[in-house]
Amino acid sequence: MRSHELLVVTWLPDVKNRVEQLLQDNEYVFDSVSSPIEAIDAIGKYAYKVVILDSLLPGLNGYQLVKRLKGTPHGGYAQFIVFMNGIPENKIPDVTMRWGMHVLLRKPVNGEELLDSLKQAESYDLPSEKVERYTSTCVEETFSELAHLLWTGKLTCYGEHDIVKEIYWDGGNPVFAMSSNEDERLDKWLLTKGLVAEGILKSAYDIMNKRGKRLGDALIILGAISEEGLERAISDNMKEIILGMFPWNEFTYTKEEKISGIKELTSIKDTFPVLLFEGIRRKTKMDAIESKLQEAGEIVSFSPDNIFNIEDFKFPQSFNRLMGLINGKRTIYELIAKSGVSHDDAYRFLYTLFLLKLIRMSHGSEDDKHVTISMSDASRKASFTGNLHDVSIIELIQMLELNRKSGTLQIHDAREIGWLLFDKGSIIDAYYGDLTRENAVYRMLFLTDGEFDIKFKSIIGEPRITVDTQTLLMEGLRMMDEVNRIEPLFGSLKKKFVVNPSHTLKSHEEKEELMRIFNGSNDILTSSFLLNPDPQAGLDIISTLLKDNVIKEEK
């Protein structure tokens, strides 16, 4: 058999020595491990054709391990030859079927029986070799397509140097990943990142072998890492396995849908938009990214086809200005020139938004840039655009509610981009900068300038705002009255503040939170909503922070 086609899982010295010596004498090439966790790790990397397994193992018995291994992508295709004590001859067929094994051999190990079983298994062809393969020259496009299909299943990717990576997807998000690359194994990754020392790893291996523990459990027992730290490390390791694919020039892959138990595998904490943005930042061929955007078009506008939750877009603050410049009238070059972001970073950012379908591009002429379609148009793609100087946001909301319209209302002001989602006239979700749901609605009611764009379309998904629209408006109007009375105390609610570097804060966490809110971009009103759902209470907090010299005005 070829390398990595035969795996031996034995623990007892007499069984281990007998089996390994028999295989060596008959010129078999095999991998050998002594614990269940090593077996799970090995079968996660290689498509073994045959697994020889002793039922007596530390931590898991033979039945439990067979069940676990058969549930892995590679293990589902392997032939299992298992040794077991005390099984009567007439019970062997029943036990074999119940365990999902192919061959059950009684101990002590009979060399002839084992060799005969191996010869039969050698003629077995792995079904995975017959699965249809696809070829892709662009990792991000393949992944984005799966994300927009809300795909669930296993993606097996074959790259350069015989690297195989398996990624499990659940509802359009990668949730679990494995790699045949030795350097991407969890233990090697922890060592490379400096999260554990080499001596600690050796001690963990001893615990794994003696007590049948998994690597993570062994590290926790040793006090080398906390449970929370382990979860984050596993997530980051799997994320790295995926991100390492983005520079690939070409790869082949297979898709397997309707995989059971995916939710139990979930280990990756970050959502697809975050992974996509980080992956694209690793691409070095900027000319390829630029050509894809130029082929798509020049004029950039926001798209109503976005299916992702905007809270998932954890983009750096440096791109806020670029986002604020997108209005359906500016070209790619104009956006980059005005944004202050570097040429390469701006292209990567726009390319990410394009793949996520948050923006779209068109080769528009001067005549069709400003076309407005009446609300009475029966087309599903009907839209209504204008300026808040002419129609207030309250009037727009009331008009959409009265006509029981479904779709999106986007507000583009000088500071942020706001979204209101409507279903049959009711507001079901909202976003404005870092604000979401009801808070975002209340903040946008204060807007008096900026362009709006309404797109009429069916809205799919559970509402995150359950308060009826009239109640939202009444509460918002109450807040506006209270804030208008307080505004003279601040001079203007358009002022922006930053954390005073000369002031010592109580904790690092408090400093991070204040710097997130008072970052020189949020005005007083937005900051007040981020501090407290009631802006009056938020403004009182801001007043105290100013008095205590914790924050200062950004000049």
Rounded to a whole number of angstroms, the distance between the first and last alpha carbons of the chain is: 73
With cut-offs at 50, 70 and 90, classify the pLDDT of residue 424. Answer: confident
Q: How far apart are CA 439 and CA 537, in angstroms?
A: 13
Average pLDDT of the segment spanning 429-435: 80
Residue 443 sits at the vertex; the CA angle it makes with 439 and 444, to the nearest 5 degrees, is 120
Structural contact between residues 154 and 259, judged by C-beta atoms closer than 8 angstroms: yes
| Amino acid making up residue 350 | L
Count of residues in the chain: 555
Q: Measuring CA to CA, which residue among 82, 89, 83 is closest to residue 107?
A: 83
pLDDT at 376: 33
Each residue of 58-83: pLDDT tens digit? 777 777 788 777 767 666 667 888 88
Residues forming beta bridges with residue 83, ordered by sequence position = 54, 105
Higher pLDDT, residue 13 or 61: 13
Q: Is residue 338 within a helix (H) or strand (E), and if so which, with residue range?
A: helix 332-339
Rounded to the nearest angstrom, the gap between the alpha carbon of residue 75 and the centroid of all alpha carbons in its chain is 26
Q: Measuring CA to CA, which residue among 37, 35, 32 is closest to residue 6?
A: 32
Each residue of 262-287: pLDDT tens digit? 776 778 988 899 999 999 988 877 88
What sign has the CA pseudo-torsion 402, 404, 410, 415? positive
Q: How far apart are CA 46 and CA 251, in angstroms?
A: 18
Longest dimension (CA), the chain: 94
Each residue of 78-123: pLDDT tens digit? 788 888 776 667 777 766 666 666 777 877 888 888 888 888 877 6
Q: Measuring CA to CA, which residue among 153, 133, 359 is closest to residue 256?
A: 153
Residues forming beta bridges with residue 21, ordered by sequence position = none
User: Could you name the CATH architecture of 6-128?
Assistant: 3-Layer(aba) Sandwich (3.40)
pLDDT at 127: 46
Each residue of 326-364: pLDDT tens digit? 888 788 877 887 787 888 888 999 999 999 888 888 876
**H helices within 76-197, ranges in order?**
92-99, 111-122, 139-148, 186-192
Each residue of 131-169: pLDDT tens digit? 578 999 999 999 999 998 888 888 999 988 778 898 999
Average pLDDT of the segment spanning 295-315: 73
Sequence-distant (≥ 6) Cβ neighbours of residue 210 within 8 angstroms: 58
Contacts 24+ apart (CB under 8 A), 551-555: 551/497, 551/498, 551/499, 551/500, 551/514, 551/518, 552/497, 552/498, 552/500, 553/495, 553/496, 553/497, 554/495, 554/496, 554/497, 554/498, 554/520
Q: How far apart are CA 155 and CA 515, in angstroms?
A: 40
Higher pLDDT, residue 9 or 432: 9
Determine whether 458 is exposed, middle or buried from the number of CB atoms within 10 Å of its CB (0-12, 13-18, 19+): exposed
Each residue of 504-545: pLDDT tens digit? 766 777 777 788 788 777 888 888 888 888 888 888 888 888
Q: Measuring CA to CA, which residue among 313, 291, 292 is closest to residue 302?
A: 313
Reduce the DSSP state of residue 59 to 3 states and report it.
Answer: coil
Structural contact between residues 452 and 387, judged by C-beta atoms closer than 8 angstroms: yes
Rounded to the nearest angstrom, the gap between the alpha carbon of residue 446 and the centroid of all alpha carbons in its chain is 34
Structural contact between residues 180 and 10, judged by C-beta atoms closer than 8 angstroms: no
Structural contact between residues 222 and 207, judged by C-beta atoms closer than 8 angstroms: yes
| Residue 178, number of CB atoms within 10 A of its CB | 23
Residues forming beta bridges with residue 176, ordered by sequence position = 168
Place of tokens 């994300």: 147
Residues forming beta bridges with residue 496, ordered by sequence position = 523
Sequence-distant (≥ 6) Cβ neighbours of residue 192 within 8 angstroms: 183
CA distances from 362 to 329, 366, 417, 453 (A): 10, 12, 20, 17
Q: Is residue 427 within a helix (H) or strand (E), and if so which, with residue range?
A: strand 426-432
Q: How far apart are CA 464 and CA 270, in angstroms?
A: 21
Q: What ranges do the domains of the chain cover?
A: 6-128, 134-273, 285-362, 383-484, 490-553
Q: Is residue 219 within a helix (H) or strand (E), and if so which, with residue range?
A: helix 215-221
* Topology classification of domain 285-362: Arc Repressor Mutant, subunit A (1.10.10)
Q: Measuring CA to CA, which residue among 485, 491, 482, 475 is closest to residue 442?
A: 475
| Amino acid making up residue 476 | G
Reduce the DSSP state of residue 390 to 3 states and report it.
Answer: coil
